[in-house]
Structure 1
Amino acid sequence: MGLLTAKIAIVTGASSGIGRAIARRFAVEGASVVIADTIETPLEGGPTTKEMIEHAGGTGFYVQTDIADWNAVDRMLQATIERFGRLDIMVNNAAIYTSTNLLETTPEQWAKVIGVNLTGFFYCCKRAVGQMLGQEPVNGVRGRIVNISSQHGMVACPGDFPYSVSKGGIVQMTRQIAIDHADDLIVCNAIAPGKIITGKPGIANDPDSLDYSRRRTPWPRLGQPDDVAGAALFLASDMSTYVTGVNLMVDGGWMAG
């Protein structure tokens, strides 16, 4: 018996990176996983998340989803319920960034980042909680939400104003949902990763950025997607029922320094 046997989970941004690792870990632990992403092809290359889950004997279900679009989120939830009958775990992971400071950020860039990283999380949480409220509790819980925030929701992200602001909003959104829906038996927590090496191309793997992260991180290596997946598994399982409203640091000690 896995920790998530017979559970139904949605993971946004699950085609690549951290979301991919979470989806695979959940499937190994017995969950049926809905892979919600704008594209199915992983940014780091290789087989799709669905293919990897099924190759390992699990159940994966891809639904093309732009979380910044309410109608797309609604369709994704409907497809999940039609396929599996309920929703136990909602993992909000999909995110974008611009690497621009306040003066460099255009109104269009601001709207796009906030549209995905904050409004998109709002849409997914709203739709998930609406579904969970109509479900019978299992082991005292109607459903669980895990929001992927960032250590840059608590400390500034140098040179990326909209990203950092959006991540701070996610931390507060998590607390708000946890308090407002505790009586409804809905658990809501966040995970704040430090520097995680995902294999995706782009500025995240810029040598200067990696050097900065290594200097900031006390642990003698940078993070891997599986480090976040382990924390997500804990918060998604019955091990953490009395943990709600928490922003769990997975950062190699970054925020302790």
Structure 2
Amino acid sequence: MRLADKVAIVTGGASGIGRAIARLFAREGAKVVIGDLTEAVREGGAPTAQVIAGDGGTARFRICDVARKADVDALVAAAVAEFGRLDIMVNNAATLGAGTGLLETTEQDWDHVMAVNAKGVFLGCQAAVRQFLTQPVVDEARGRIVNISSQHGMVAAPGKIAYGTGKAAVVYLTRQIAVDHAKDHIICNAVAPGRILTGKPLGGPGSDPLEYSRMRTPMPRLGRPDDVARAALFLASAEATYVTGHNLMVDGGWMAY
């Protein structure tokens, strides 16, 4: 029970990686507040909060558009109002957008992807840090942030220029916040997934993202949401005693290739 009595927010927790993180955190004792646009599970199945409750855990769902400051602030306020504090903020919500290259990407699609993938993480970090600063230090931290970045925040994402740029912003935000708020006992790290098999569509017209990903991944399988969830759990727990500003690769060796 590495997160016993902790309060955690997971954005984009209805499906995929966010769902796996929310379920694992709950199994480890956290009270989980899920923020997403819908409770519908992209891969199918019962809503995440319902599954957690059925397993004996505690979870709440709140509609939240991470690109809207009012929604993010309300998400944090709701968690604190019910559970008394916030210990962990997982900024996971993201969108691929149209998944196109420089010349094909419209201004509207660029703005949409940046609003979710970059601004959304900024707003989540800002709201969390504002709350953390009101809290006492527990287990050497006032609070811990785990951002979900991507290997495509460091290397090109072929045909996905907006997505890759947004994820690069997440990597930078993680480092900057870690440095600026280390003195405040606020911990900020990121997990950078490689190709994870979820319900999220990838690739543009004529592409074969699975073939490309298998070619780039040295390990003999592609990633699963639980692979990312376990890394997020480590960074969200007191086991990560002297780790901040780190971007932890969970990519099957993609970036070592």
Contact 1:141–1:241 under 8 Å retained in 2: no
Partner of 1:252: 252
Partner of 1:37: 36
Partner of 1:79: 78
State the number of aligned residues: 255
* RMSD of aligned Cα (Å): 1.3
Contact 2:101–2:160 under 8 Å retained in 1: yes
Partners of 1:96 and 1:152 in 2: CA distance: 13
Tell me, what secondary structure is at the counterpart of 1:157?
Answer: coil
Partners of 1:194 and 1:203 in 2: CA distance: 13
Partner of 1:161: 161
Partner of 2:210: 210
Tell me, what secondary structure is at the counterpart of 1:183?
Answer: helix
Partner of 1:59: 58
Partners of 2:106 and 2:89 in 1: CA distance: 31
Contact 1:189–1:245 under 8 Å retained in 2: yes
Deviation of 1:201 (Å)? 5.6
TM-score, structure 1 length as denominator?
0.97
Q: Once the two structures are superposed, what CA deviation does each residue of 1:144-203 show, in whole Å capped at 9, x if it has no partner?
A: 0000000000000000000000101110000000000000000000010000001x1633
Partner of 1:220: 220
Q: Once the two structures are superposed, what CA deviation does each residue of 1:113-146 show, in whole Å capped at 9, x if it has no partner?
A: 0000000111110010000000011111100000
Partner of 2:92: 93
Contact 1:187–1:241 under 8 Å retained in 2: no
Tell me, what secondary structure is at the counterpart of 2:94?
Answer: coil
Deviation of 1:104 (Å)? 0.6
Partners of 2:168 and 2:104 in 1: CA distance: 20
Contact 2:64–2:75 under 8 Å retained in 1: yes
2:116 counterpart letter in structure 1? V
TM-score, structure 2 length as denominator?
0.97
Partner of 2:7: 8
Partner of 1:197: 197
- Superposition pairs of residues 82-121 of structure 1, within 5 angstroms: 82-97=81-96, 98-121=98-121
Tell me, what secondary structure is at the counterpart of 2:239?
Answer: helix
Q: Once the two structures are superposed, what CA deviation does each residue of 1:22-69 show, in whole Å capped at 9, x if it has no partner?
A: 000000000000010000111111101011101110000001000000
Partners of 2:201 and 2:233 in 1: CA distance: 28
**Which structure 1 residue ranges, 4+ long, deviate > 6 Å from structure 2?**
none
Contact 2:159–2:203 under 8 Å retained in 1: no
Partners of 2:78 and 2:143 in 1: CA distance: 18
Identity of aligned residues (%): 58
Partners of 2:256 and 2:5 in 1: CA distance: 37
2:131 counterpart letter in structure 1? Q
Tell me, what secondary structure is at the counterpart of 1:68?
Answer: coil
2:66 counterpart letter in structure 1? I
- Superposition pairs of residues 128-143 of structure 1, within 5 angstroms: 128-143=128-143
Deviation of 1:241 (Å)? 2.1
2:47 counterpart letter in structure 1? T
- Superposition pairs of residues 21-36 of structure 1, within 5 angstroms: 21-36=20-35
Partner of 1:170: 170
Contact 1:30–1:58 under 8 Å retained in 2: yes
Contact 2:34–2:62 under 8 Å retained in 1: yes
